[in-house]
Structure 1
């Protein structure tokens, strides 16, 4: 029975990746418009490489790898595993084809299901669970990457006009703002932060520890497109005093001073359109603003007289409001918690070595797979990045 449940969960996660790619043409699987965006077929291959390299090679005596050179192509950043194609070159490879990668997935899935159906040690079960959570992370990235690939196309095509995929596109821009937002108050004092109890968590969510949080308030609703438009109309992108120095320098290189995917509406002067997975649409005023960099989120809060919350403030109050439509920028640098410990071997490279020069995001987003989000989850990106579904929830004293 336990083995059957393991196999069912494994199949469910793996099939979702393929369902996310189902609406895409083979040509959509290849481009890499910018270094931060990986081709969809690379995601399909990399998640398969993870199970083959991190699980099957270790756990199945005599396991035969599908192709001896695929490790070089689909290793992401694991120095201890060996050399690899550089990230910027992932979109330069026409081979292996999508069909060949799908055949590889079948090969690995058959071996994994045999493994999952038998007895497993706790260590091996934990490694498999990490692989599943890893694939769910890549599902979120895959959807955002597909949007960027299609969104940079002058044709502004719809991602899934025939409803073949794994997501409800109507939820991408649901209204999330009310005319009278509620501010949830923290009266000050200690708060336990980090993963607690049973269930999976990444190593960067531990160790659980206590922090002191000063009195503050956090808004129940995300900042909306209409609010962000007011910032823009008041010269938000032209007022250097609102921006970090590095943010102001980044701003000078923008072709359009607006959130990613926004463009002026040619038929309505002063109006805006934005690219969504359903194609180009009029901007929805009450929908949460999305695809902001940390620099933009910070500048908006400076203009509004608010600030971004720390990740600890966010976690302390997260049970008082709905979250999950956008990854929410915080004012916290991505650093290890007290007592943080990396795993030994290749899996120790998963999170710890990225704890520098990045900012923490909390919550989840429209693109996050079901059941993958939790209150203690720590996402992290460099301040200029905004191709993910990133927004902001303001804090104040």
Structure 2
């Protein structure tokens, strides 16, 4: 269906341009050298994100729907394809930082040319199929905006000078008195339903049974987690999964990723630089292994992803947001855009005890996008709730984030639950 000249098309153009500009803005405080670094396999150089998010639109829109289209550069398909086997060969993730070319300037030119072509295509009139793929591409780029903050933070923390990404001072967290909310056994609906965008792994909506449980309305703080460390939590195997115990001993893990003990005092590396550990701020950058061990120490457990979604949708959570207001945006990242009143993303993504798998009746995106989510449904755990780096209007309560149990570099934290017996 042709939507040329429609309100939807004009809005799509505005959202496309704004999203692409936001990605560039995230990278603006960096030096060229920062954009090229890859200190570990999980982290990609920022310039790769700039190229990959552009390749997405070139490969899935221009290559598919513009007759006679010629690639900007034939090598870019190999370099900037992340994992789409149906799109051909791709460069190994761990080796992305080994490539000095294309240069940052070439990637900037690439972004500019593809943007001009996409906007021109939109102005000429597009089908619903193209509009759907562009919508996916916008949300895909927003995922990479969050990844950029994660990767930039890791890249900068590896430097012994602890460089600051943001020049603004880090706001101190306000101590919050929490409480527990209890829910009786019931059949609830989980998954995306209604209007608005969602990824394929959020559907279809379906019924699931919840037994009696309680869940905390506050996140675990640095101070609470420090008590776990000081009680020899990292030296006590009974708290840890067997694989987690092996992981921490093999890698010398003794604290969350960015914590540093200097002369007997705890500090935390943030995007605002190295700062004294704020005991009231939410603990962040903990692995599933650490979150699970902490929950065991507290004689609680991690919630399931179904419990988390049910709580996040509940009037209890909405009332808490209204009473306390949304969290300041500079606890763990700079505030590049105002938080909107309608956004209810939290400080950190909260680990659940749920393995990442398909919902009953799951149907992946079609075509090359079939590989978007389903192929990762193995050996990962679901996180819920959004984080301070989640772009505005990108979050929803049905959003399923997922990571491997040992990973720490994402904005991951802890919300506790417990059974009612």
- TM-score range (shorter-chain normalised) is over 0.9
Aligned-partner Cα distance in 2 for 1:9–1:170 = 30
- 1:58 lines up with 2:52 in the alignment: no
Deviations 1:27-84 (A, max 9, x none): 0011111100000000000000000001111122222321111010000000111111
- 1:338 lines up with 2:360 in the alignment: yes
2:231 corresponding residue in structure 1: 234
Aligned-partner Cα distance in 2 for 1:174–1:369 = 21
Deviations 1:296-328 (A, max 9, x none): 000000000110000000011113325521011
- 1:32 lines up with 2:38 in the alignment: yes
SS at match of 2:197: coil
2:118 corresponding residue in structure 1: 112
SS at match of 1:26: coil
- 1:367 lines up with 2:361 in the alignment: no
User: What is the CA distance between 1:170 and its match in structure 2?
Assistant: 4.1
User: What is the CA distance between 1:115 and its match in structure 2?
Assistant: 1.3
1:13 corresponding residue in structure 2: 19
- 1:278 lines up with 2:272 in the alignment: yes
SS at match of 1:305: coil
| Residue in structure 1 matching 2:156, options 150, 154, 174 | 150
- 1:295 lines up with 2:292 in the alignment: no
Aligned-partner Cα distance in 1 for 2:268–2:365 = 42
SS at match of 1:274: strand
The 4+ residue runs of structure 1 with deviation greater than 3 A are none
SS at match of 2:100: coil
1:74 corresponding residue in structure 2: 80
How is 1:375-394 mapped onto 2 (pairs within 5 angstroms)?
375-394=397-416
- The answer to which of 59-68 and 194-203 deviates more is 59-68
1:128 corresponding residue in structure 2: 134
User: What is the CA distance between 1:254 and its match in structure 2?
Assistant: 2.9
Residues 6 and 117 of structure 1 are in contact (CA less than 8 Å); yes or no, is this contact kept in structure 2? no
SS at match of 1:376: coil
| Residue in structure 1 matching 2:213, options 200, 216, 235 | 216
SS at match of 2:188: strand
Aligned-partner Cα distance in 1 for 2:361–2:173 = 39
Deviations 1:161-205 (A, max 9, x none): 2x7xxxxx746x744x52x31111111100000000011100000
Aligned-partner Cα distance in 2 for 1:108–1:372 = 23
User: What is the CA distance between 1:2 and its match in structure 2?
Assistant: 3.4
| Residue in structure 2 matching 1:203, options 197, 200, 205 | 200
| Residue in structure 2 matching 1:317, options 311, 334, 343 | 311
Aligned residue pairs, count = 385
User: What is the CA distance between 1:256 and its match in structure 2?
Assistant: 4.4
Aligned-partner Cα distance in 2 for 1:315–1:36 = 27
Q: Which runs of 5+ in 1 are unaligned?
A: 164-168
2:300 corresponding residue in structure 1: 306
Aligned-partner Cα distance in 1 for 2:305–2:8 = 37
SS at match of 1:192: strand
SS at match of 2:268: strand
1:166 corresponding residue in structure 2: none
How is 1:117-196 mapped onto 2 (pairs within 5 angstroms)?
117-161=123-167, 170=170, 174-175=173-174, 177-178=175-176, 180-196=177-193
Q: TM-score, normalised by structure 2?
A: 0.89
CA RMSD of aligned residues (A): 1.3
SS at match of 2:357: coil
User: What is the CA distance between 1:345 and its match in structure 2?
Assistant: 2.2
